[in-house]
Copies of this chain bind each other. A is one copy, B any other.
Amino acid sequence: MPPTIYDIAREAKVGIGTVSRVLNNHPSVSEDTRARVLRVASRLNYRPHPYARGLASSRTNAILAVIPFFTTFFFHEIFQGVQARLRHLDWDIILYGVNHPDQVEASLRHNVLRNRVDGVLFFSMKMPERFAEQYLDQKTPIVLVDAYHKNFDSLTVDNLQGGYAATRHLLSLGHKRVGMLSANIESLPARDRLSGFKQALAEAGIPVDPSLIKSSASPKPDGFAHESGHAMMRQFLDMGSRKPTALVVSSDIQAVGALAALKEAGLRCPDDIALVGFDDIELAQHLGLTTIHQPMYEMGVLAAEILSERLHNPSQEITHKLFVPKLIVRETCGSEVSKRPATVEKHTA
């Protein structure tokens, strides 16, 4: 049997209350006693029993991470950030992978309402409105990462800025017929990225050509998929000479599909059609994909921090943190095209 505080109390010749106080760094313990208790605890190789602790204190030292399993890529890096920050707080992370949006609500109810966890990190999915409403009288903090709801702390990326930056980049390289290959515009990120695209065009005085904007109708992961990129690129290619010379793609994974379609058609990427992706998944680097980087690791770290703060101070005001994504220039836009018009721009500027 593992040692309990009773064992320690006996050996150290103190009461269990004192042992508990020592272990919890309660101030009103004399230095002598504290040292003695710690020595015994260490000698006995004592570990507090987390469940007993949780039961007595109604703190669990665990958080729940609800993540979508259907969009694989996003999460690794964020999660590393989360854990890096959480580890030394000695918190456990209970992972709940969701395969289908319908499972989201069940998972929240199941875990939050059972008081199994002190807090929740909720990733990249739509917070079910019904839950959000009923949740108001709950006290378990929930932090949304890559998701937004007015009632909860959230960390999001400025998708509009991202779409804008991607488009600006293509324009600055001299492209005139810039199109957008978008995910399902039911999805808010997809909509925002598209808005950024349009805004950049507007600023450049280029009218929006609807034939150069295609968006997926797929509901599954809202069109953020390899296949959707492939299919839509095919459509663009079918436009023949009226096809765009450059495309903003609403996610890297779609860009991968688009690249495959290009290759199949015997076309080359920077030369025939230039591409900018979105996300900067690890794969993007391997493929030399120019893209919009989301600071995932940092988001993970900050998410953990915000959750931790709210745990200590539940009444603080709700914060919504917006990250600005960054353009990463690689090969899929080339630079030859850029040379001429870029200097032109400089002249005109």
Please give the residue numbers on chain A whose beta carbons come within 8 Å of chain B beta carbons, in ascending order.
2, 45, 47-52, 54-55, 60, 62, 65, 69, 72, 76, 79-80, 83-84, 92-97, 99, 113-116, 226, 256-257, 260, 282-283, 285-286, 288
A55 to B58, CA, bound (A): 13
User: How many copies altogether?
Assistant: 2
A226 to B93, CA, bound (A): 29
Among residues of B, the one whose C-beta sits closest to the C-beta of A117 is B92
Residues of B within 8 A of A92 (CB): 94, 116
Across the A-B interface, the 5 shortest Cβ-Cβ residue pairs? A51-B54, A95-B95, A51-B51, A47-B114, A51-B55
Residues of B within 8 A of A282 (CB): 72
A99 to B76, CA, bound (A): 12
Q: List 27 A-B contacts (CB under 8 A).
A: A2-B114, A2-B115, A47-B114, A48-B114, A49-B114, A49-B115, A50-B51, A50-B114, A51-B54, A55-B55, A65-B95, A69-B76, A69-B79, A69-B80, A72-B76, A72-B282, A80-B99, A83-B97, A92-B94, A93-B94, A93-B96, A94-B94, A94-B95, A95-B95, A226-B286, A256-B286, A283-B283
